[in-house]
């Protein structure tokens, strides 16, 4: 009998209204009991997170970050998906070893001279790691939250231009025929939807 091969992780691309770096200071203050700075960015969060001025937040940093940046609906119900169709499934569980389409693009593309493509892809799939973000404990929470990185509105406009103008080439050792083209095509669906929604994008992993 062959050994069990677990399925690859599923990845989602969620709409966000705040960039993580814009709320991190407020979250740190909130943990100490001063919630005013955080609530300037995430009004109404005090009800969802049970925040009381003068009392330290009781939930972890990653969950605080997740709550404060997502583009929740007005009643704080689940955000409307940027894409509920084929692109969500195709980009969510990409047919590579780890199921991560963005890491696949980094591995099997070469960017043109002066291009920011790889920097922006890295921000999307690695931007919330301790080393990249500069703070610890904001990317993984005890409730199973695992956030990888993000793009804000300016980033989205820049990476969309880089992709659409073809400022990249496919490496000769790409293992999936047409994989890079496929990944970029589905990523563009999310980028265009985010531009239309006027929001950023958060990348998460679900194991």
Q: Give the pLDDT confidence of 45-102 residue by residue, as tens digits.
A: 998 888 999 999 999 999 999 999 999 999 889 999 998 788 888 999 899 989 999 9
Q: Tell me, yes or no, whether 159 lies in a domain.
A: yes
Q: Tell me, yes or no, whether 166 lies in a domain.
A: yes
Q: Tell me, yes or no, whether 175 lies in a domain.
A: yes
Residue 7's pLDDT is 59
Residue 86's pLDDT is 83
Side-chain-side CA neighbours of residue 69 (13 Å): 30
Q: Tell me, yes or no, whether 135 lies in a domain.
A: yes
In 3D space, the residue among 4, 17, 3 whose CA is nearest the CA of residue 199 turns out to be 17
Q: How far apart are CA 156 and CA 23, in angstroms?
A: 19
Q: How far apart are CA 62 and CA 141, in angstroms?
A: 5
SS3 143: coil
Element (H, E) at 64: helix 61-69
Q: Give the domain extent around 189.
A: 10-18+71-206
Element (H, E) at 170: strand 168-170
Q: Give the pLDDT confidence of 23-44 residue by residue, as tens digits.
A: 999 999 999 999 999 999 998 9
pTM, 2 dp: 0.93
Residue 136 has pLDDT above 80, yes or no: yes
């Amino acid at each position: 009998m062959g050994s069990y091969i677990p399925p690859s992780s599923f990845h989602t691309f969620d709409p966000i209204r705040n960039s993580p770096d814009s709320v991190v200071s407020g979250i740190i203050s909130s943990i100490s009991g001063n919630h005013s700075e955080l609530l300037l960015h995430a009004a109404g969060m005090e009800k969802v997170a049970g925040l009381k001025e003068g009392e330290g937040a009781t939930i972890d940093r990653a969950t605080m970050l997740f709550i404060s940046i997502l583009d929740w609906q007005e009643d704080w119900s689940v955000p409307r998906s940027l894409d509920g169709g084929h692109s969500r499934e195709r980009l969510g569980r990409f047919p590579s070893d780890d199921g991560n389409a963005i890491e696949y693009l980094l591995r099997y593309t070469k960017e043109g001279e002066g291009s920011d493509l790889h920097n922006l892809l890295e921000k999307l799939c690695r931007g919330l790691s301790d080393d990249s973000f500069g703070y610890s404990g904001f990317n993984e929470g005890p409730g199973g939250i695992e956030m990888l990185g993000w793009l804000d509105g300016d980033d989205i406009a820049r990476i969309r231009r880089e992709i659409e103008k073809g400022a990249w080439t496919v490496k000769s050792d790409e293992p999936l025929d047409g994989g890079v083209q496929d990944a970029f095509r589905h990523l563009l669906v999310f980028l265009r939807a985010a531009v239309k929604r006027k929001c950023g994008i958060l990348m998460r992993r679900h194991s």
